[in-house]
């Protein structure tokens, strides 16, 4: 059984009719999983309600400033607005974003309790959110928060974050790069939004590995990087937990970038990760073509069930 942490409340973060990061993304994934050949091997779990998660706010303020957290809440409570041109906040967005964080924290606890993978099927995404600013569709930095939370758990001394979203996770990197117990690795299109993620960005403790790839790249570009760069970097760090910022917008059909991966390639990505450890939390980031997005999540979870 593979735990998938999901709530219909994640659909209540409203971004507008034409926004690419919309509730239908999750609906497409959930439908694909429920009709998959391994549907009976998925354990659907609801995230811990925010009011019942005493760890949530203390770890949230380790990643984000109190002023920024308050700002998001105030924008939501007064009817909604935009954090930047791409990042809407609707009346329920603050509550939903907190619940998404809760889902990622639940995922950490589940993986550590079972020593097997779990998937946080949550939105809004998080890897662009910096400590004092939301951007790029992201409100709170889910992966970074989850990594900080994991370090509070017994026996966890090192946590690695692998970000295979097509965009660089500037927010995750900015929050974790000062922590010697957290490593961050990103494969991303360059040039592309948000313009960060150069190979020269190595973190404060040589704990960051950025691998920009040019537009038009396919699995023949990614696979050598995974074998010769990503896996050695992660294996050398020896993480007690691996968190994957699982964005699926590097698919060829995705409208927001120009990388030519196929859904099955994410199964290969997953195999590499499982070769390192089974203690993996996958958490949804980007991916905006419903068909390839849902097929890619299916490929990821299918490999975990083998």
Active site includes 167? no
Asked whether the bond before 264 is cis by omega within 30 degrees of 0, the reply is no
pLDDT score for 249: 98
pTM exceeding the 0.95 threshold for the entire prediction: yes
> 164 and 244 in contact (C-beta within 8 Å)?
yes
86-115 tens-digit pLDDT: 999 999 999 999 999 999 999 999 999 999
d(CA 25, CA 153): 32
Residue segments in the chain with a per-residue pLDDT below the cut of 70: none
**Region for residue 205 given its phi and psi (left: phi exceeds 0; alpha: psi -120 to 50; beta: otherwise):** alpha
Domain extents in the chain: 2-305
Measured at the CA of 301, the angle between CA 44 and CA 125, to 5 degrees, comes to 75
CA distances from 248 to 77, 99, 262, 299, 302 (A): 31, 22, 10, 11, 15
- As a whole number of Å, the end-to-end CA separation of the chain is 10
d(CA 209, CA 206): 8
Percent share of the chain, pLDDT over 90: 100
> 270 and 303 in contact (C-beta within 8 Å)?
yes
Asked whether the bond before 124 is cis by omega within 30 degrees of 0, the reply is yes
257-285 tens-digit pLDDT: 999 999 999 999 999 999 999 999 999 99
Sole residue written with tokens 């017994």: 154
pLDDT score for 61: 98
Q: What is the DSSP string of 128-160?
A: T-BTTB-BTTBSS-HHHHHHHHHTTSTT---EE
20-31 tens-digit pLDDT: 999 999 999 999
d(CA 303, CA 306): 5
- E-strand ranges in the chain read 2-5, 42-45, 81-84, 87-89, 118-120, 159-163, 182-189, 208-213, 241-246, 280-284
pLDDT score for 46: 98
* Catalytic residue (one of 13, 64, 127, 128): 128
Looking at the structure, give the CATH architecture of the domain made up of residues 2-305: 3-Layer(aba) Sandwich (3.40)
């Amino acid at each position: 059984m593979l735990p998938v942490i999901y709530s219909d409340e994640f659909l209540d973060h409203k971004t507008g009719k034409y926004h690419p990061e919309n509730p239908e993304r999750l609906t497409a994934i959930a439908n694909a999983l429920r009709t998959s050949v391994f549907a009976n091997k998925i354990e659907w779990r609801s995230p811990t309600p925010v009011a019942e998660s005493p760890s949530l706010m203390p770890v949230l303020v380790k990643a984000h400033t109190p002023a920024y957290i308050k700002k998001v809440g105030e924008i939501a409570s007064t009817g909604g607005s935009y954090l930047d041109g791409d990042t809407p906040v609707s009346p329920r967005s603050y509550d939903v974003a907190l619940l998404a964080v809760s889902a990622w924290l639940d995922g950490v606890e589940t993986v550590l309790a079972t020593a097997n993978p779990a998937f946080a099927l949550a939105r809004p995404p998080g890897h662009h959110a910096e400590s004092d600013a939301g951007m790029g569709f992201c409100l709170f930095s889910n992966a970074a928060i989850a990594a900080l939370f994991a370090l509070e758990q017994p026996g966890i001394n090192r946590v690695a974050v692998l970000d295979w979203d097509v965009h660089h996770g500037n927010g995750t990197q900015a929050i974790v790069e000062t922590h010697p117990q957290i490593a961050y690795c990103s494969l991303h299109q360059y040039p592309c939004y948000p313009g960060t993620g150069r190979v020269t960005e190595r973190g404060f403790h040589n704990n960051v590995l950025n691998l920009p790839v040019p537009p038009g790249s396919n699995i023949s570009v990614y696979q050598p990087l995974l074998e010769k760069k990503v896996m050695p970097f992660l294996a050398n760090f020896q993480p007690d937990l691996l968190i994957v910022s699982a964005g699926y917008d590097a698919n060829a059909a995705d409208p927001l970038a120009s990388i030519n991966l196929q859904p099955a390639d994410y199964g290969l990505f997953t195999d590499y990760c499982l070769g390192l450890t089974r203690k993996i939390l996958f958490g949804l980031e980007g991916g905006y073509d419903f068909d390839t997005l849902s097929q890619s999540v299916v490929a990821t979870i299918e490999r975990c069930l083998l």
